[in-house]
Structure 1
Amino acid sequence: MIDVAEAAGQPRPLVRYFIGNRADMVNALIDRLLERGEAKFRLMSEGGSAGQALDIVLDQIFADDTTNIVIMELWHLSLRDAALRERLGAIYRRVIFEVTALLGDDADPDAAFAAVSLAFGAAFFRHLGLAPQQRGSLRDAAHCLLTPNRILVAGA
């Protein structure tokens, strides 16, 4: 709370008055992340394409480095807090559900899981300074996961 108060340039008692304790602050942060994620999904309609799903997952949900750092910290906290772990799990179950719904009735939830996992891992690798050697290869691989009948041609 001291760090938050310093970063906000506010006295600690004022921050505590408006935010509450650490658990309240974490819950408020998660609520805000959920609101932002839901707003992104509302922009897309059901029955979209694999490309639209990838735009959301790769270019919006996991594209914000600040949000990714916050999520990394929340995951770290969740190792010791079962309630937080359940809440984070619910967030990602929702992302997978929304990607599956976006793809339509015959979409494979496991393919959506794999594509979200790939995007999640790539976001954290990016934080470590790791990136695919060829631009677009991550998107191509994720697209193959979401459209299993598509044949990947290098550079296509």
Structure 2
Amino acid sequence: MRTRALSLILAVLAVALPALAGEFAASRPPADFRGMVWGTRLQDIPDMVPVPDRSYRNTYFRREEPLTFGEADLMSVAYYFRKDRLYRVGVAFKGEANHFLIRERLMMRFGPGRRVGSRYGWMWPDFSVEVRYDRDTDIGGLYYTFEGKLPE
């Protein structure tokens, strides 16, 4: 009986928590990253180059990528594809000052987010934006992830 009640509570929380987390985002999720709309076919985005390391399957970059985000300096920008459709972008940066500049820019765009451990982010029903920073390594990452259904 106790196991069944606990299972029911966990099931309700699994459904309710994502909906509540979406309330942290004060605005609409981004429709694109640098003009590339989520779900765009790989072949329709010019200048994509596969990351040469085999462990980065379906991951691309652009050689002429602007390595700035507002006033922050970036180390790299990676584009992730699922079924040849853009669904995620990862941005790497170095330094606490860049972390601050990126997070402040995101807060201006999306409003207050939510902190969970070393991560700070925004959630919508089918999208998330997350920024992380590790003080020990002085490296951080920003991730835009489309979690909805991609076009066929």
Structure whose residues are more often helix by fraction: 1
Query: Scaled by the length of structure 2, what TM-score is found?
Result: 0.22
Structure whose residues are more often strand by fraction: 2
Query: Scaled by the length of structure 1, what TM-score is found?
Result: 0.21
